[in-house]
């Protein structure tokens, strides 16, 4: 599969599932394979092609946790911000998602730390595992995350601190403040809804 196809698939899938959670994941525990990553690439290209059709068909595409994590491990590095590594996403029943990341927190700490011992960012140093759990609500072309909990190195952190980490690593010239965890966002490729189940997500166009 050529590089243009890989970039297109990477953009779509990162926007769809990783971008939906606003944070990639950590060291992968499950099975990773080239075959699974390629299956996801083909599905992503088919989703995008259907969206570009003059009359898009009603389509239902199942993306498995193995396919997504294989893609993240083998093909998504160019889409990840510098300082974020080792992506993994868990898909749970009831629309819940767990995202993990190994994140370089030095830059975030230097930007906002007050230096006081009560400032939790004063203790964020180096590359540490970050995880967050929430419910992905995606319907009528829009998605949002209802955050349940977040941790850095296994220590529970407030939502405000996770927001600072996410905002720092998602800043761009178009959005200098970065992404807002509470803000709903449009789904790409004429996707109407995403149903998250145990081990898989069903994409509806």
Tens of pLDDT, residues 32-77: 999 999 998 889 889 989 998 999 999 999 999 999 899 888 888 7
**What local confidence, expressed as pLDDT, does residue 13 receive?**
53
Segment 168-187 shows an average pLDDT of: 85
C-beta of residue 191 within 8 angstroms of C-beta of residue 16: yes
What letter does residue 30 receive in the DSSP assignment? S
pLDDT above 90 for 28: no
Q: Which of 2-6, 150-154, 172-176 has the lowest mean pLDDT?
A: 2-6
Q: Is the pTM of this model over 0.85?
A: no
C-beta of residue 200 within 8 angstroms of C-beta of residue 63: yes
d(CA 121, CA 118): 9
pLDDT above 90 as % of the chain: 26
Alpha carbon distances (Å) from 143 to 59, 168, 187: 18, 21, 6
Segment 107-117 shows an average pLDDT of: 64
Please give the distance of CA 18 from its chain centroid, rounded to a whole number. Answer: 2
Q: Whole-number mean pLDDT of the chain? A: 81
Segment 141-152 shows an average pLDDT of: 90
| H-only helix segments in 53-136 | 65-74, 106-112
Smallest CA-to-CA distance from 41 within 17, 6, 4 is with: 6
Confidence of residue 144 (pLDDT cuts 50, 70, 90): confident
Confidence of residue 140 (pLDDT cuts 50, 70, 90): very high
pLDDT above 90 for 122: no
**What local confidence, expressed as pLDDT, does residue 24 receive?**
44
pLDDT above 70 for 83: yes
Segment 83-98 shows an average pLDDT of: 89
Confidence of residue 82 (pLDDT cuts 50, 70, 90): confident
């Amino acid at each position: 599969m050529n590089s243009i196809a890989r970039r297109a698939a990477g953009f779509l899938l990162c926007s769809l599932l990783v971008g939906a959670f606003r944070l990639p994941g950590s060291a992968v525990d499950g099975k990773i394979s080239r075959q699974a990553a390629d299956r996801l690439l083909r599905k992503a290209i088919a989703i995008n092609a259907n969206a570009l059709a003059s009359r898009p068909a009603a389509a239902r595409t199942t993306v498995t946790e193995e396919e997504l994590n294989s893609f993240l491990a083998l093909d998504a590095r160019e889409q990840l911000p510098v300082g974020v590594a080792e992506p993994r996403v868990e898909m749970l029943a009831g629309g819940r998602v767990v995202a993990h990341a190994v994140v370089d927190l030095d830059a975030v700490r230097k930007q906002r730390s007050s230096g006081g011992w009560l400032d939790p960012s004063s203790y964020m140093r180096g590359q540490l595992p970050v995880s967050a759990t929430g419910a992905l609500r995606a319907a009528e072309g829009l998605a949002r995350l209802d955050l349940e909990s977040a941790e850095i190195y296994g220590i529970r952190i407030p939502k405000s601190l996770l927001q600072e980490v996410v905002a720092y690593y998602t800043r761009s010239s178009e959005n200098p403040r970065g992404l807002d965890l509470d803000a709903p966002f449009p789904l790409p490729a004429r996707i109407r809804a995403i149903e998250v189940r145990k081990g898989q997500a069903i994409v509806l166009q």
